[in-house]
Amino acid sequence: MDHYIHDSDGSSSSSHQSLKSTAKWAASLENLLEDPEGVKRFREFLKKEFSEENVLFWLACEDFKKMQDRKQMQEKAKEIYMTFLSSKASSQVNVEGQSRLNEKILEEPHPLMFQKLQDQIFNLMKYDSYSRFLKSDLFLKHKRTEEEEEDSSDAQTAAKRASRIYNT
C-alpha cells in the first residue's frame, strides 16, 4: 500500500502535470492566465489578432490589485489609464462606459477600481479570442509537442513501474 501512495505522489505525476499544460489551458481561461507559459502563448496568439492589449490590460489589473503602497497604486492606476483606457491610449481596450472613466478616479485609487472593466475584458477574451486560441495552430502545435513528449516519457514510466513490481 505504501509503495502505491508514494508512486502517485512521486516523480511520474509531477512530470505529467508540467507536460499536460495544454489540458489545463483548455480547461479554463483562468488556468491559462495563471500559467506564465500559457500567458506567453496566448499573447503570441493575440498579437496576431491585434488584440494583445486585452491580456496586457488584464495582467496589469492583476498586478494593480496586489499593490499595497498608495503612491505606487497611484502611478500604476495612471499608467493603466493612459495605456489602456484614455481616449488617447496607445493600446486602448474596448470596454463599455469608457467615456465615464475620467482621470479624477486616479486621485483616489483603490485595489478594485478597475475590476468591472477587467471582468468585461476577461469575458471578451473568454468568449472571443480564447475559444479561437484553443483552435489555433499555435495551441495545437504546442499540444502535439506535449503529446509526443508524453508518449516517450510514458514508455519510460511503464518500464520503471514494471521493474518496481517485479522487485518487491
The residue extents of the domains of the chain are 29-137
Instruction: Please tell me the predicted confidence (pLDDT) of residue 35.
Output: 96
Residue with cell 502505491: 4
User: How does residue 121 score in pLDDT terms, banded at 50, 70 and 90?
Assistant: very high
Judge whether 109 and 74 are in contact, CB under 8 Å: yes
Mean pLDDT of 92-105: 74
Ranges 12-16, 57-61, 110-114, 159-163: which has the least confidence: 12-16
**E strand or H helix that includes residue 25:** helix 21-27
pLDDT range class, residue 144, cuts 50, 70, 90: very high
Q: Answer with the residue of higher pLDDT: 28 or 106.
A: 28
Closest CA to 156 of 49, 31, 15: 15
**Rg for the chain, CA atoms, rounded:** 22
Cα torsion angle, 129, 135, 141, 142, sign? positive
Mean local confidence (pLDDT), 149-162: 72
Under 8 Å between Cβ of 141 and 7 = no
Residue whose C-alpha is closest to residue 122's, from 34, 20, 22, 24: 34
DSSP state of 86: S
**pLDDT surpasses 70 at 13:** no
- Write down the mean pLDDT value for the chain: 83
pTM of the model: 0.75
> How confident is the model at residue 31, as a pLDDT?
95
Considering the segment(s) 29-137 as one domain, its CATH architecture is Orthogonal Bundle (1.10)
Q: Does position 18 have pLDDT exceeding 60, yes or no?
A: no
